[in-house]
Every structure is written in structure tokens, then in C-alpha cells.
């Protein structure tokens, strides 16, 4: 029977605990450095509607880190590591410009397995909601832009000719368009959509469509501008008021990487917009919220089109926890073996 060296075991346990604590602290420090910081909400005479306006030179840029979506199926995304965020306001409107690198311009979704590039801002004023797209009784407002709406409406499918060789009125063969589904239109006058959500799988189109969005392609970059009045008429429209905190989160989809619905690159913690001092900064806590609230069905539904797939059957949280435990046990074993010799 092998005799345990208690002194070596104690020293190995202490050393392993210190190393693991330093690793966790280092990861948290890196995340805080990338996502934290402050960015002024700069006042201007006229809020720009497009990304190439010279007025954006007045607004400092802040880098936010993005991660793959791991909170609900379909898990995935993460092809975009970071984005730049800028904010401008005047007496009546507020504008955000999101800029990120994406080598592929994905605007055509008229064929199977084609997905559109897209971007979104999630907002909520007042108390901090769960980061999991809100929750029952604590809804969030989502502004969404899709490149296909702006650039892909004149692109035809890969196949030629007509799908139907017989008369096909829209109300029979295109029921979504006939019913006025905002995601089924042939042409779009406004490239931004206003949504509400109260947890995963609960995304709905807001009755009042008051968000303007314009995307600009510059080399390998997308820049998207969202503009809206400070207050909206909708029931859950986020309101920019003095002395009330505005919580913000960001997400992008890369169509060429099969990112659609829940598969996306997103911020894992809220930024806050202080409408009194005009500072955009990350709160100390992650604002993860309670994902067990009503409406948090595991669809991970979001605002890109397509099926999105199943995304796998294992929870990445369990995978990460298992890896951490295995690394801890392996490290302790090696240290004990060396100390006990």
C-alpha cells in the first residue's frame, strides 16, 4: 500500500490553489481591461444617419470584446473578436456606430445555407435586466440591422427560372409576405428593426418601428449606425432619460461562418450609458441574470434568418468546468509526485 506524504500533499494543494487563483484573476483582469473603460456620449448639433459622416470624428471610439454565444442552444459563433463602439446625441436623437472587421460581405440569403451579416444593440433603461435577452417581467429592447435588407434585395437565387411552373399568387405560395411578416418582404425602406425580448426564444417584432439603421462597407469592415429618438412610443422601447442608467449589449453575425439565430459573437456583460455624465462604461458585475426565468427557452432565438441548426448537445459550461477540474487534478498530481520524491 502506497503511503501518503501529507506534507507533500499539503504543499501541492497550496501551490495548485495559488496557481489556479492567479489564472482566474488574470482572465478576469484581461476581460475587464478590454470591455471596461469609459467612452463619452458626445453632444453634437446634428446626429449622423450614416457611418461615413464626418461628425463621427467627434466621438471617441471604445473597443469591446466579443465571445461566442454559450448560454443557450444553438451554441456557436465567435468568429468576430471585437468591435468599436461610438455614441453621439443631440437634443432629440441618439446614435450608435458599430464597426468590426469581416473579410466577407454576406448579403444574399436566397439559397440554402446562405446567411446574412448582421448586427444588434440590446438596450434597457432603469434596473439591470438579465443578460440572457431579458426575462419574463423584465423585457429588453433590441435594435437590429441585416445586410441582406440593405444590399441583397436585388440578388436572385442560384437556381434559374421560377420555382413554380403554374400560377402562384403570393397569398398561397408566399404566405409570410402576404401576411405582412417583416422578415418576408421583397424590399425594405428601413434597414433597422425594433424588437422586444423577455428571455431566449421570445423575440418579437415591436408594433412601433422607430429605429433607423444604415450599414456601410469599407474594405474588410462593416460600420453600422443605429439612430432613434430619445424616447419611443412602444411599450418596451428603451428611453434615454437624465439620471437613469441605460444598459447596453452588442452582437454581430458573420454569415460566411454559418452564424445565424443564437450563433453569434456578443458581449458577455453589459455596458452602461450614464445619460447625465454621458459616459459609456462596463459595470463591475457581469449582469448574467437568472436564465431560469420564464421565456428563457433554449432556442437562443435572435434576429438573423435561417434554421441555425441544433448547435450540439453538450453545454460548454460543463465542458469548461470539466477541463478546469482535470487540469487541477493533473497539476496537483505532478506537484505532489515531485515534492514527495
pLDDT attached to residue 71: 87
**E strands of the chain, at which residues?**
38-40, 42-43, 62-65, 67-68, 82-89, 93-101, 118-125, 140-146, 192-197, 204-205, 212-218, 221-229, 245-253, 265-266, 271-274, 279-281
Same domain, 86 and 148: yes
Same domain, 285 and 340: no
Q: Which grid cell is 219? A: 474594405
- Determine the length of the chain: 341
List, for residues 287-304, the tens digit of each pLDDT value. Answer: 333 333 333 333 334 444
Same domain, 325 and 303: no
Same domain, 96 and 1: no
Helix (H, G, I), strand (E, B) or coil at 75: coil
pLDDT confidence tier of residue 276, bands split at 50, 70 and 90: low
Is it the case that residue 55 has pLDDT exceeding 90? yes
Same domain, 30 and 43: no
Same domain, 321 and 247: no
**The domain that contains 217 carries what CATH number?**
2.60.40.1190
Q: What is the pTM of this model?
A: 0.70
Same domain, 30 and 100: no
Q: How far is 31 from 101, CA to CA, in rounded Å?
A: 20
Is it the case that residue 267 has pLDDT exceeding 70? yes
pLDDT attached to residue 280: 53
Same domain, 259 and 339: no
Same domain, 242 and 340: no
Same domain, 18 and 41: no
List, for residues 179-238, the tens digit of each pLDDT value. Answer: 878 777 777 778 999 999 999 889 999 999 999 999 999 999 999 999 999 999 899 999
List, for residues 99-139, the tens digit of each pLDDT value. Answer: 999 999 999 887 788 899 999 999 999 899 999 999 988 99
Same domain, 184 and 324: no
Range of the domain at 84: 37-310
Domain count, the chain: 2
Same domain, 172 and 202: yes
Q: How far is 222 from 69, CA to CA, in rounded Å?
A: 21
Amino acid at each position: 500500500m502506497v503511503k501518503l506524504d501529507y506534507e507533500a500533499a499539503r504543499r501541492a494543494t497550496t501551490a495548485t490553489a495559488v496557481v489556479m487563483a492567479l489564472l482566474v484573476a488574470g482572465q478576469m483582469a484581461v476581460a475587464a481591461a478590454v470591455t471596461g473603460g469609459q467612452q463619452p456620449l458626445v453632444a453634437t448639433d446634428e446626429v449622423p444617419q450614416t457611418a461615413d459622416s464626418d461628425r463621427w470624428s467627434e466621438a471617441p471610439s471604445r473597443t469591446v470584446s466579443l465571445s461566442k454565444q454559450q448560454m443557450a442552444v444553438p451554441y456557436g459563433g465567435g468568429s468576430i473578436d471585437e468591435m468599436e463602439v461610438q455614441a453621439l446625441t443631440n437634443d432629440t436623437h441618439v446614435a450608435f456606430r458599430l464597426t468590426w472587421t469581416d473579410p466577407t460581405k454576406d448579403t444574399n440569403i436566397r439559397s440554402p445555407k446562405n446567411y446574412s451579416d448582421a448586427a444588434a444593440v440590446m438596450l434597457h433603461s432603469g434596473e439591470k435586466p438579465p443578460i440572457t435577452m431579458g426575462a419574463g417581467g423584465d423585457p429588453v429592447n433590441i435594435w437590429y440591422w441585416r445586410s441582406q435588407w440593405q444590399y441583397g434585395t436585388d440578388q436572385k437565387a442560384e437556381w434559374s427560372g421560377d420555382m413554380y411552373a403554374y400560377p402562384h399568387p403570393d397569398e398561397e405560395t408566399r404566405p409570410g409576405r402576404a401576411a405582412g411578416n417583416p422578415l418576408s418582404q421583397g424590399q425594405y425602406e428601413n434597414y433597422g428593426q425594433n424588437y422586444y425580448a423577455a428571455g431566449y426564444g421570445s423575440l418579437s417584432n415591436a408594433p412601433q418601428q422607430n429605429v433607423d439603421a444604415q450599414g456601410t462597407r469599407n474594405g474588410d469592415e462593416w460600420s453600422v449606425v443605429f439612430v432613434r429618438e430619445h424616447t419611443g412610443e412602444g411599450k418596451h422601447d428603451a428611453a434615454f432619460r437624465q439620471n437613469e442608467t441605460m444598459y447596453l449589449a452588442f452582437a454581430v453575425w458573420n454569415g460566411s461562418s454559418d452564424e445565424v439565430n443564437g450563433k453569434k459573437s456578443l458581449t458577455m456583460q453589459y455596458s452602461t450609458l450614464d445619460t447625465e455624465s454621458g459616459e459609456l462604461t462596463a459595470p463591475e458585475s457581469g449582469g448574467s441574470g437568472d436564465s431560469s426565468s420564464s421565456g428563457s427557452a433554449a432556442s437562443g432565438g435572435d434576429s438573423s434568418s435561417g434554421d441555425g441548426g441544433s448547435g450540439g448537445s453538450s453545454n460548454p459550461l460543463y465542458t469548461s468546468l470539466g477541463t478546469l477540474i482535470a487540469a487541477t487534478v493533473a497539476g496537483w498530481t505532478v506537484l505532489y509526485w515531485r515534492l514527495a520524491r
